[in-house]
Structure formats: structure tokens, C-alpha cells
Amino acid sequence: MLLQKEGFPEEDILVLCTITNIHYHSVFAKLDEYGKSGLIHISEISPGRIRNIRDYVVEGKKVVCKVLRVDKNAGHIDLSLRRVNDNQKRKKVNEIKQEQKAEKIIEQIAKQNKLDPIKLYKELTGKIFDKYADLTSCFKDVVKDTDLLERLGIPKKTADQLVDIIKVRFKEEDVIIGGTFHLQSYRPNGMEIIKKALIDGESVDDKITIRYAGGGSYTVSVTSKNYKDAEKILEKSMKKVLAFTEKDLGEGTFERAE
């Protein structure tokens, strides 16, 4: 990675590390984004008793750790492996991969123009990082706003070259929101009433999907290009679905997914 963050990481954040040394009761790991070393005590490797620490870690292996404690004066960083779940691990690894993909674009531009990639990286991020925490979030905005880089102070020639590649490498991502309907009808034909309500809710837009989840519950998801449109579609669908409760002796609630 070209990115090397200055200073120490904040406590409780996730960091990508490389295992460097394994001892009987502890493991040392290099924090890839910070260029500093941290320690993982055996009790933070995995839940339960560990007979052989090498059954869990190997030198050179990339791992995602949680920062437990930071002592800036002593230069100590305590890390944990066991406090990172699979979902957090996947998310962090994906973030790193996305940032590396963004860095590769800068390396390509440097090669095209016979420039030092590290020097170009520092010049560009010196402007981009004033507004963005990373290249990935900036480049995703560039897909929607191709003049963004110039407004950030990047020379037009370089900005145009970057935009051409960014539009290919970073496709505009869809926004997905949704939740769960919990529906019940006390009419003899209650199932037909609920089915019609769900059909009405799904007919609001072709971007919405409603599926039976069991026990009177139905999941709904809306896929759109931006949150504003997705929210409008979901709100309209929700009103359609829950309308039956006012006239057909039914009960209905909607639980928003986080």
C-alpha cells in the first residue's frame, strides 16, 4: 500500500496487520496502514484455551485486528484477533482492496506520464485528503461528479486522465435499503387481503422487491442509484401495504433494517 497514516491508530478501530513474530504467549504484528508494530497477547488470539499458538497464526499472514489500547509515550499498541467477527473482517479487507485499487490508478497515471508514483500519490492526496479520508470515497464521488478533482485543485490534464480510468474501475454503486413488514388480518379471507396489499406495495416501482419471510413477516428491499429516491419508493410502498389495516380489520407494522 502507498498509504501510510501518520501517528498512532485510535482505540477500538480495525486495522490490517501482518504477523511478524510468534512467541509462546504473544504475537507481534505490523500495522500495514501505520508502519508500526503491535502486540497480540495469547488471550486475544481466540476464545478458549490455546495449546499451540501456531495453530492460529503464521508469520507473514495478513489478519484484521481490533486496537485495544494505545500508549503513545511508550509506543505500545495492544491488538486483538478474537474480538473481530467474520463480517467485520470481510468489510475491512474489502475497504483495503478498494483503496489498493484506487492506488493502482495513480500508479497507472504515473507510468503513463513517466512520473514517480510515490511523489504523484503524495501530490494528489495532499489535495484529496483535505476533504476525504481516503481515495476510495473520493473516486466514488468522481464517478457522479467528473469535475470534482479539478475543484480539489488537481491540474486538468491529470484530472482528466484520472477520470477516464476511475469511470471504468469504479462503477456507480446501487443503494439498497429495506426492512420487514409484520402483517395480520382477522377477516376470513385475510391471506388474500394481505397478498393484495403486498402486490400493491410492490407495484409502486420496479426497484422494489417483497418476499415472504415466514410467520406473518415479509421482507422488502429497494435498489436505487441514490438514497433519496430509494427512501421515496420505500415510503410509498409502506403506505400502500399498511393501508389495508384501516379498512380490513388487520394489524401491520414495518421494521426498518439497519
At 29, the pLDDT band (50, 70, 90 cuts) reads: very high
What would the mean pLDDT of 38-56 be, rounded to a whole number?
94
> Is a pLDDT exceeding 80 seen at residue 258?
no
End-of-domain residue from the set 107, 138, 169: 169
Helices (H) and strands (E) in the chain, counts: 7, 9
**So what's the pLDDT on residue 99?**
94
Q: Are residues 153 and 195 in the same domain?
A: no
Both 42 and 111 in one domain: the answer is no
Both 111 and 53 in one domain: the answer is: no
Q: Which of 149, 169, 189 is the last residue of a domain?
A: 169
pLDDT for 2? 66
According to the model, what pLDDT value does residue 156 have? 96
Examine the domain organization and report whether 181 and 161 are in the same domain: no
Query: What local confidence, expressed as pLDDT, does residue 224 receive?
Result: 85
Determine the pLDDT at residue 107.
96
Query: Which of these ranges, 98-102, 151-155, 167-171, 218-222, has the smallest mean pLDDT?
Result: 167-171
Would you say 213 and 178 are in contact if contact means Cβ atoms under 8 Å apart? no
Label residue 211 by pLDDT band (50, 70, 90).
very high
User: What gap in Å lies between CA 200 and CA 203, rounded to an integer?
Assistant: 5
Domain boundary, last residue among 169, 190, 206: 169
Identify the domain containing residue 119 by its residue range. 87-169
84-97 mean pLDDT: 91
Residues 159 and 190 occupy one common structural domain: no
Give the SS3 label for residue 209. Answer: strand
Domain co-membership, 187 together with 245: yes
Q: Residue 61 falls within a domain, yes or no?
A: yes
Residue 37: CATH number of its domain: 2.40.50.140
What's the confidence (pLDDT) of residue 1?
60
- At 236-250, the pLDDT tens digits run 999 999 988 877 778
| 2 in a structural domain | no
175 vs 152, which has greater pLDDT? 152
Mean per-residue pLDDT, 169-189: 87
- What is the CATH classification number for the domain harbouring 163? 1.10.150.190
Q: Does residue 157 lie within any of the structural domains?
A: yes
Q: In what order do the strands lie in the sheet with 250-256?
A: 208-214, 217-224, 175-185, 250-256
Domain count, the chain: 3
pLDDT at residue 175 in the model: 80
On whether residue 7 sits in a domain, the answer given is no
The CATH number of residue 227's host domain is: 3.30.70.1130
Flag whether 9 is in a domain.
no
3-state secondary structure 35-93: CEEEEEEHHHCCCCCCCCHHHCCCCCCEEEEEEEEEECCCCEEEEECCCCCHHHHHHHH
Q: Does the pLDDT value for residue 217 go beyond 80?
A: yes
40 located within any domain: yes
Residue 144 to residue 175: CA distance in whole angstroms? 14
Residue 87 has pLDDT above 90, yes or no: no
The Cα–Cα gap between 162 and 153 comes to 13
